[in-house]
């Protein structure tokens, strides 16, 4: 008999309290997710201070001396230096350009730098480029087709 009274005396949580409890749990989950995302995005964007991009590439034939004029920009928020540049007929066979100055080329945030390289190019061929900034930063790779 006492068991029946115990079960009869237990009441369920009211629907209003259940709804409020679910709302509180959902809001807490949203706050935790927001805090994690803002922390994650802040650290990720801070690491991407150097964002190099290809501004322009010109193939120049100056009385038999073939050159390539390369313009590289930095849309990031940090300054860097270009320490090497490579060019080749395929992505796997790029070679170092000895015509890039032995001292690094400064590339400030929000600016574009130009440099010329002497390279014997053939009209209509596709060339692969790799511009390497300072250690720890991602290299810029792109390809261009020489004019016909």
Helix (H) or strand (E) holding 103: none
CA distances from 38 to 25, 27, 33, 77, 107 (A): 20, 17, 9, 19, 30
Helix residue ranges, H only, the chain? 2-9, 15-47
**Ranges of each domain in the chain:** 2-47, 52-145
Please report the pLDDT score of residue 24 as a whole number: 97
Among the listed ranges 8-17, 32-41, 64-73, 105-114, which one has the minimum average pLDDT value? 8-17
pLDDT, tens digit, for every residue of 32-55? 999 988 887 765 555 557 889 999
Please report the pLDDT score of residue 117 as a whole number: 84
pLDDT > 90 fraction of the chain, expressed in percent and rounded: 34
What gap in Å lies between CA 14 and CA 1, rounded to an integer? Answer: 27
Instruction: Identify the architecture of domain 52-145 in CATH.
Output: Sandwich (2.60)
* Better-predicted residue by pLDDT, 101 or 108: 108
Helix residue ranges, H only, 10-111? 15-47
SS3 category, 136: coil
pLDDT, tens digit, for every residue of 52-102? 999 999 999 888 888 899 999 998 888 999 988 888 888 776 665 544 556
């Amino acid at each position: 008999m006492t068991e029946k009274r115990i079960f009869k005396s237990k009441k369920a949580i009211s629907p209003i309290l259940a709804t409020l409890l679910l709302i509180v749990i959902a809001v807490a989950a949203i706050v935790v997710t927001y805090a994690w995302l803002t922390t994650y995005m802040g650290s990720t964007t801070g690491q991407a201070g150097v964002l190099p991009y290809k501004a322009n590439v010109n193939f120049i034939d100056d009385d038999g001396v073939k050159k390539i004029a390369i313009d590289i920009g930095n849309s990031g928020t940090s300054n860097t230096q270009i320490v090497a540049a490579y060019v080749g007929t395929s992505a796997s066979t790029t070679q170092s350009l000895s015509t890039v100055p032995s001292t690094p080329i400064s590339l400030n945030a929000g600016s574009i730098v130009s440099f010329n390289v002497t390279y014997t190019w053939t009209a209509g061929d596709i060339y692969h480029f790799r511009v390497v900034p300072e250690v720890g930063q991602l290299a810029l790779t792109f390809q261009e087709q020489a004019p016909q």
